[in-house]
Amino acid sequence: MSDILPSAKQTEYRNKLEFTFSNKMWLTGEEILSGIAIEQRNALGFHIPRMFDKVLDIKNCYLQAEPSNSIRIALRSFALENNLSFYDIREHKGLLRNLIIRSSSTGELMIIVCFGEQDQAGIQLVMEYLLTGFPQITSLMYTVNLKMNDTIADQNILSWKKKDHIMEEMEGLKFKISPKSFYQTNPGQAYELYKVVREFAGLTGKELVYDLYTGTGTIANFVARQAKKIIGVEYIPDAIEDAKSNSILNGISNTSFFAGDMKNILNDVFLSVNGRPDVIITDPPRNGMDEAVTHKIAAINPERIVYVSCNPATQARDLLILCEKFDVVRIQPLDMFPHTHHVENVVLLQRKKEVSTVVSTGDAR
């Protein structure tokens, strides 16, 4: 197990932040003890841990570079000046619900505003303000989320007079990022992560590789030039379309991508059509792999498995199953999230060598 690989940037390292509008601002101890009545309780910031309805109003965020702070502060002021309602999560009403800011190393900027009401006049007022006030925005998007939860993966996200994606670049490769697409939030450290994955995979140009939970195909396209064929699988159809576009964009012709639930798509028919992989790269979400998927990977029995995880606890759980047939050879943790206890962890597993047993009938003395 190697030492944790540190992040070169300790502040302004994130390329994506999601802020919440709330009419229930969290008051600090100093504000409460001051005795000063605070009439205005609207906030735009982060949720307080273990208090779903309280939001800390952020004055300055050190996690993302400008113009992130400027846009958030200006939009909050504009909303207050125009009496636009901030979301009430208990009552499930209010126009302004969430603000998502995504940036890229290429200088492009995506803004997604999530509204909690079908108020076309209010929506137009906000979107036109952002359009004219911040010309550096290259992708201006919005959605109306009337559900009880904040996730927008199942929502229709619309473009407002701008393009519907931003572009990221890594080692000469270009990656298209749509509103629902996953891309590592620390892009500088993501490059170090992908280099570790490529090294662990040990590709020679002859291998068939399965990239499970491929997202927008970032890892798949990153290692494609060192492999014979890459098969990527991902649950979100929009991400798979981006993965295909990224291969075309970079002139990569040895990749194929499929959308579907991993435990349903990774079956014997799929293997017979696409071939049994020599190497499996898997990068599941925080809850790890479904137990059926883990057992299926063990049954496929590739030469190597490279398991990438943002949650070493669920990774360890899955390794207990895989270690029946595989040896853990190398472990490389990376600090993807400075100032937190979280790490990204890469584990290389090698198929166990069959132990040949020689039976002697001779004198054992």
Name 354's Cβ contacts closer than 8 Å, sequence gap at least 6.
none
Please tell me what DSSP assigns to residue 148: S
- What sign results for the dihedral spanned by CA atoms 334, 63, 218, 173? negative
Helix (H, G, I), strand (E, B) or coil at 15: coil
Phi and psi for 211 in degrees, rounded to 5?
-110, 100
Interaxial angle between packed helices 312-322 and 291-300, expressed in degrees from 0 to 180 and rounded to the nearest 10: 40
Strands 255-259 and 229-234: parallel
Nearest to 177 by CA among 117, 128, 249, 246: 246
- What sign results for the dihedral spanned by CA atoms 345, 348, 351, 357? negative
For tokens 């992708």, name the residue: 139
Q: Dihedral of the CA atoms 170, 176, 182, 185 (nearest 10)?
A: 40
Q: Which residues are catalytic?
A: 310
Residue pair 230/209 in contact (Cβ under 8 Å)? The answer is yes
Partnered with residue 231 across adjacent β-strands are 210, 256
Name 175's Cβ contacts closer than 8 Å, sequence gap at least 6.
167, 168, 169, 183, 216, 218, 221, 242, 246, 249
Q: What are the strands of the beta sheet with 139-144, ordered from one edge?
A: 51-57, 43-48, 16-22, 96-103, 109-115, 139-144, 158-159
CA distance 184 to 10: 16
Q: What are the strands of the beta sheet with 255-259, ordered from one edge?
A: 255-259, 229-234, 208-212, 279-282, 304-309, 344-351, 326-334
CA distance 189 to 215: 17
